[in-house]
Amino acid sequence: MANSIILEVSDVQPGMGSAPGTIIGFENGEPRTIKAFGEMLSHFHAGNTYRFDWYLGKEYQGQQDMLVSKHGEIRIVDENGSPQAPQAPQRATSPAPAPAPQKQQNTPQGVMTGAAGTKDRSITILAVMKSVIESGGSEDDFRRWLELHDQTLAEHGKSRG
pTM of structure: 0.49
Print pLDDT tens along the chain (161 aa).
568 999 999 999 998 888 899 999 999 989 999 999 888 999 999 999 999 999 998 887 888 889 999 888 999 987 665 665 544 444 444 455 555 555 444 455 444 554 456 777 777 887 888 877 877 778 888 888 888 877 777 777 654 44
Within 1-121, strands assigned E span: 3-13, 21-27, 30-36, 49-56, 66-68, 75-77
Q: 147 Cβ partners below 8 Å, 6+ apart?
A: none
pLDDT computed for residue 105 by the predictor: 47
pLDDT computed for residue 147 by the predictor: 84
d(CA 72, CA 34): 15
> Among candidates 137, 83, 79, 78, which has minimal Cα distance to 107?
137
pLDDT computed for residue 100 by the predictor: 54
Which amino acid, residue 128?
V
Within the chain, strands assigned E span: 3-13, 21-27, 30-36, 49-56, 66-68, 75-77
pLDDT computed for residue 108 by the predictor: 53
Domains and CATH numbers, the chain: 3-77 (2.40.50.140), 93-161 (no CATH)
pLDDT computed for residue 114 by the predictor: 47
Residue 2 CB coordination number (10 Å): 15
pLDDT computed for residue 115 by the predictor: 43
Give the chain's length.
Answer: 161
Instruction: Give the up-direction half-sphere exposure of residue 124: CA atoms within 13 A in the CB hemisphere.
Output: 19
d(CA 108, CA 148): 10
Q: Please give the distance of CA 106 from its chain centroid, rounded to a whole number.
A: 13
> Among candidates 111, 107, 113, 144, which has minimal Cα distance to 127?
111
